[in-house]
Amino acid sequence: MIVIIDYGVGNLHSIKSALDYLKIENKVSKDIDEILNADGLILPGVGAFGDAMENLTNTGLIPTIRKFVESGKKLLGICLGAQLLYEKSFELGEYEGLGFIKGEVIPFKGLIDKELKIPHMGWNELIFNKNDKILKYIKEKEQVYYVHSYFIKSEGTEVIASSEYDINVPGIVCYENIYGMQFHPEKSGITGLNLLKAFGELI
């Protein structure tokens, strides 16, 4: 059973629909026992980093998510949910993240060609950085769908696949039992479904 964490932010039902299509048992929940007893967790996210962290704090679920991660079971962050896995974000201020992975979230503005649009929005190909079981059903240069104005900056050792948007943009990351996808697999056609299928087999 995969639990999609309901904390008032995120594209919950699109993710649920994708998992339903794949016949992966799942539910949307904010119940502490259901989260702790899940085989895998998905942390979704749409909107601003600070608001998302405030919502997570207000639900009281952060200690529960930490306990789940410490158990060694798999967690997947999607879009903003992937950014929340890191230490800090500079989106509309400075905010602390969950800190599971070393690194921070910074704006594209001032770092990419002025002719390129922000947000980075649309289809972009994935370039593989290293082998990982999450990639088992896809091939390099398949395309996924991004919508974001801020991106992950780190030492890069956790980056499995990335995309180019004038600069190198981490697309899929993994640190120990924690995965993140900056793009929306639930909006990325067969490629996204194959990534979710692979995650389902990891739990």
pLDDT tens by residue, 53-78: 999 999 999 999 999 999 999 999 99
Q: Are 64 and 36 within 8 A, CB to CB?
A: yes
pLDDT above 90 covers a percentage of the chain that reads: 96
Whether omega for the bond prior to residue 119 falls within 30 degrees of 0, making it cis, is: yes
Beta bridge pairs of residue 183: none
β-strand pairing of 74-78 with 95-96: unpaired
Q: What's the CATH number where 78 sits?
A: 3.40.50.880
Task: Give the model confidence (pLDDT) of 128-167 as tens digits.
Answer: 999 999 999 999 999 999 999 999 999 999 999 999 999 9
**For residues 3-31, average pLDDT:** 94
Q: Are 140 and 71 within 8 A, CB to CB?
A: no
Domain limits for position 58: 2-202
Handedness of CA 70, 76, 78, 83 (dihedral sign): positive
- Residue 122 — φ and ψ, nearest 5°? 130, -165
pLDDT bracket for residue 1 (50, 70, 90) = very high
Q: Global pTM?
A: 0.96
> Among candidates 151, 144, 161, which has minimal Cα distance to 109?
151
Number of structural domains in the chain? 1
**Which residues does the annotation mark as catalytic?**
79, 184, 186
